[in-house]
Amino acid sequence: MNTLQTSTPARLLYLHMGSKEPQRQIDFYQHMLDMHCESYADGSAVLKGPNRAVLISPADKHGLLAAAFALDNQSHQAQLRQRLEQKGCRVEDIASPLLETGSFSIRDPQGRETIFGVAQDLQLGELPGMPGRLQHVVFQTTELEAMVEFYVNTLGFTISDNVVDQETGKLMVCFLRSDDEHHTLAFFRGSKNEWDHHCYETNEWNDIRDWGDRFAKERINIFFGPGRHGPGNNLFFMVVDADKNRLEFSAELEMTTAEQAPGEWPQSEHTLNSWGRAWMRS
């Protein structure tokens, strides 16, 4: 079976956020995440930092509008589009200020938009600022099995780890990869359908410390962590942005091979944070 990892590797490139107070959100990402802003007349903005980017647009409510994944080249873009169309997935052309022509979007059965394309020559790695590459995005869902089926069997993500309720055998969390990193996407079983968090991968533990100090200086409290996740084995902590969206800062995320079989973990605080207390979604 062709997967994203084996045939058309995809990495998270940017997020498109909606905000009821876009300027406040823009100010947060400029000031706290070293992002440089290009503003538009409609109140939206493109923000770029070292190996990270976000689009922020005025909206009726706060939240994520789309997640965009970068493919290596136009050949992979065409190959993935053809594969999705052959599977009956509705594909729509999309114009993006961060992607080359030919990029496209799809929607999952619950309406989440995912964009695929080839990144423009953005030179994000050359921008100044603290290290933190935009690395993964996570959602809560009321239909976990259906989401996993779509993202694996239609889009081509690969399951890295499952978290299972040991008493009922019910799947509670699924971590999915689109390249050699442990996960670029994950779903938690929840009581509603919402954006859970997004993550910036740093270079080492000292970067986690430095990001923590930066937020502490601004009196922005840690929401969850610090700790180490079981699935992915990464060090982490979480804070919230100006709209109360959750951000994670991570280091040492596990790398995988294409042949690596899915792991299974028990649903417990220790699985989500081997150092102590965890934020349990359900």
Domain 133-272 carries which CATH code? 3.10.180.10
Q: Distance between CA atoms of 186 and 178, rounded to whole angstroms?
A: 11
At 28 the pLDDT is: 98
Closest by CA position to 241, among listed 5, 111, 47: 47
Q: Distance between CA atoms of 141 and 131, rounded to whole angstroms?
A: 31
Question: Is 186's pLDDT higher than 80?
Answer: yes
Question: Is 16's pLDDT higher than 80?
Answer: yes
What mean pLDDT, rounded, does the chain reach?
Answer: 97
| Domain at 4-126: CATH architecture | Roll (3.10)
Single-letter amino acid code for the residue at 50: P
The DSSP 8-state label assigned to residue 226 in this structure reads: E
Q: Distance between CA atoms of 217 and 211, rounded to whole angstroms?
A: 10
At 1 the pLDDT is: 73
**Domain ranges in the chain?**
4-126, 133-272
Question: Residue 226, preceding bond cis, omega within 30 degrees?
Answer: yes
Using alpha carbons only, give the angle 196, 143, 15 rounded to the nearest 5 degrees: 35
Over residues 81-120, the pLDDT tens digits come to: 999 999 999 999 999 999 999 999 999 999 999 999 999 9
Using alpha carbons only, give the angle 110, 190, 186 rounded to the nearest 5 degrees: 70
Average pLDDT over residues 50-70: 97
Query: 75-81: which pairs have CB atoms within 8 A and are 24 or more residues apart?
Result: 76/7, 76/8, 76/9, 76/118, 77/8, 77/102, 77/103, 77/104, 77/116, 77/117, 77/118, 78/102, 79/7, 79/8, 80/4, 80/8, 80/10, 80/116, 80/156, 81/116
Whether 4-126 and 133-272 share one fold: the answer is: yes
At 282 the pLDDT is: 76
Rounded to two decimals, the pTM is: 0.96
Which tokens in the block code for residue 136? 């993964």
Average pLDDT over residues 262-281: 95
- Is residue 115 within 8 A of residue 55, CB to CB? The reply is no
Average pLDDT over residues 223-241: 97
Percent of the chain exceeding pLDDT 90 equals 98
At 88 the pLDDT is: 95
Band of pLDDT at residue 281, cut at 50, 70 and 90 = confident
- Is residue 279 within 8 A of residue 140, CB to CB? The reply is no
Average pLDDT over residues 134-162: 98
| Residue 29 dihedral angles phi and psi, to the nearest 5° | -70, -30
Average pLDDT over residues 164-188: 97
